C-alpha cells in the first residue's frame, strides 16, 4: 500500500470533524490525493442512524460498529490506500475500544479478536487524539444523541480509555489539547504530520 492512513479520535465535541476537514484541505493543497471519511456510516450508511437512535446492548452496539468497519475497510479504506491516497478518517477502531471497551465495560480481548477480522489488521499510520475534559465535552453538545447522552461518568471512562490506548502505542498516537482554538489545534496537527509529507 502506498497511501497514508490518518485517524482522528476523541470524545464527542472534541472537534474531530472540524480538524479532519482542515487536515484534508491542507493535504489537497499540497497536491496530494485525499479521501476524507468517517465512522460509523462509511461502510454501511444505514447503520449510523441505527447506532445513534436505537437502544442497544453493548454487544450489539459493538457488532454493528464492527460490521460497518469491515465494509469500510474493504470497500473504502483499502482501495483508497492502494491507489496511493492519503486517507483521513473521523474515528476508527480506537473509538470502539474506548467507548464499548472502557466506557461500556466489554472485554478488550473480545473486542480485539473481532476487530482483527473486521479490519484485516489495518491500523492508521498516525492517530491524533483530541483530548478534552469530559465536562467540557458535554458543554459542547447542545442536543446529544443516544451515544452522547450517556453521562459524565461514562465519558470519564472513555477518556481514560483513550489515554490508556495512547500510552500503549506512543509511536502511533499524538495526544493534543482539544481545549485550544481550532486554528491552534490545526497547526499542532500539521507539526506532527510534516515528517510524513513527501
What are the binding residues for ATP? Answer: 10-17
DSSP structural state of residue 30: T
Max CA separation in the chain (angstroms) = 46
Cell of 141: 453538545
Q: What is the DSSP string of 103-146?
A: IT---HHHHHHHHHHHHTT---SEEEEEE--HHHHHHT-SS--T
Which residues face 130 on adjacent strands? 10, 176
C-alpha cell of residue 181: 482554538
CB atoms within 10 A of CB 171: 6
Strand-pairing partners, residue 51, are: none
Q: Please enumerate, by residue number, every residue annotated as part of a binding site.
A: 10-17
Dihedral sign for Cα 126, 130, 131, 135, please.
negative
User: Alpha-carbon distance 126 to 4, whole Å?
Assistant: 9
| Separation CA 153–CA 170 (nearest Å) | 26
Amino acid at each position: 500500500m502506498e497511501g497514508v492512513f490518518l485517524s482522528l479520535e476523541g470524545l464527542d465535541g472534541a472537534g474531530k470533524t472540524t480538524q479532519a476537514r482542515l487536515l484534508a484541505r491542507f493535504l489537497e493543497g499540497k497536491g496530494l490525493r485525499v479521501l476524507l471519511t468517517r465512522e460509523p456510516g462509511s461502510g454501511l450508511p444505514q447503520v449510523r442512524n441505527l447506532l445513534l437512535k436505537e437502544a442497544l446492548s453493548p454487544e450489539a452496539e459493538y457488532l454493528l460498529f464492527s460490521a460497518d468497519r469491515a465494509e469500510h475497510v474493504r470497500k473504502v479504506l483499502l482501495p483508497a490506500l492502494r491507489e496511493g491516497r492519503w486517507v483521513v478518517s473521523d474515528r476508527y477502531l480506537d473509538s470502539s475500544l474506548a467507548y464499548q471497551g472502557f466506557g461500556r465495560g466489554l472485554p478488550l480481548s473480545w473486542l480485539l479478536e473481532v476487530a482483527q477480522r473486521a479490519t484485516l489488521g489495518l491500523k492508521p499510520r498516525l492517530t491524533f487524539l483530541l483530548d478534552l475534559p469530559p465536562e467540557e465535552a458535554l458543554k459542547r453538545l447542545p442536543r446529544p444523541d443516544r451515544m452522547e447522552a450517556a453521562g459524565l461518568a461514562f465519558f470519564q471512562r472513555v477518556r481514560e480509555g483513550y489515554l490508556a490506548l495512547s500510552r500503549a502505542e506512543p509511536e502511533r498516537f499524538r495526544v493534543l489539547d482539544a481545549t485550544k482554538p481550532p486554528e491552534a489545534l490545526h497547526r499542532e496537527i500539521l507539526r506532527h504530520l510534516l515528517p510524513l509529507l513527501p
